[in-house]
Amino acid sequence: MGPGPGLGAPLYAPAAAVAFLLELCALAALGYWGAVAGHGAWAYVLAALTPLVAVVIWGTFASPRAPIRLATVPKVALRLSVLLGGAVALAVAGPTWLAVTLAVVILGDEVALVALGRPVAGAS
């Protein structure tokens, strides 16, 4: 089910593309946090494990083909938790201005997707 006809329909594809890029940014931010937070070998472990845990959670509950189907509201909440978790991790490990920018773009894109009538793909 896509967005309905009208002015918003052509805007859905760019908003969905931005959402995908934000997912990648959140994973990168989580990996960066792991690399900065860890020391020695732990830096490598955390840099790999932190985004991997997020990917498993995302793939299980938030992806369009997730084996566990959630209703729209819990799915949006989970997606925002993972994405904004990346922004928080970046704020802890890196430049605060970049983390705030990431959080603002995440929230703006989510508002746009909700306004277009399709906040998440695959919600039941």
Q: In tens digits, what is the pLDDT along the chain, a chain of 124 residues?
A: 444 445 567 888 888 889 999 999 999 999 999 999 999 999 999 999 999 999 999 999 988 888 998 888 899 999 999 999 999 999 999 899 999 999 999 999 998 888 888 877 645 5
Rounded to 10 deg, the angle between the 72-93 and 41-57 helix axes is 160
Distance CA 82, CA 51 (A): 10
Pick from 34, 36, 53, 55: nearest CA to 45:
34
Q: What is the pTM of this model?
A: 0.86
Give me the pLDDT at residue 123, please. Answer: 52
